[in-house]
Amino acid sequence: MSISVRQARPGDQEALALVGAATFLESYAGVVDGGAIIRHCAERHTPAVYAQALETPTHSLWLAEQAPGAAPVGYLHLTPPDLPIETRADDLEIKRIYVLASLHRSGLGRRFLAEAVTHARAEGASRLLLGVYQGNERALAFYDSMGFERVGTRQFDVGGRIYDDWVLALDL
């Protein structure tokens, strides 16, 4: 199996929307209300949402593709911080690191995090922030192993239902 990671570009919005919805469903089926998952994906994992992100200069996205055939299997999305904590002018937020469940523990999440750190440093950032559902033990263990620390909380709307997230930070 060969997986490539490249910076996403206009035209990738369909692939990003597909892998975004698929990974969200995989991660939260059985944890989050099914109707809320469907509504969330219909609102936030659409080609139009990703096309807008690709056109926004302050957003950066990377797409992972599996060969043969370049099927989308994950992505990374970096943005200016939009979190309910005190942020610094040079912070960046990891809006999403999504990887298909079949590729968990493959190193792809680490590759995405390395891309995020490299990009953040090149942009002059001194800290990466992200929000993680408090019940997502797998993701929390991953970020903990990578050196992230809990710095706050937020509430996250998934299809009209509110869930509690930890806000994590990694000093660069």
Residue 68, preceding bond cis, omega within 30 degrees? Answer: yes
22, 26, 32, 38 alpha-carbon torsion, rounded to 10°: 20
What is the largest distance, in Å, between two alpha-carbon atoms of the chain? 44
Using the 8-state DSSP alphabet, how is residue 101 labeled? G
Q: Among 48, 114, 46, which Cα is nearest to 78's?
A: 114
DSSP for 98-113, written as a single string: EE-GGGTTTTHHHHHH
**Rounded CA separation 165/150 (Å):** 10
Checking phi first, is residue 42 left (phi over 0); if not, alpha (psi -120 to 50) or beta?
A: alpha
| 99 residue type, one letter | V
143 assigned to active site? yes
**Known catalytic residues?**
143
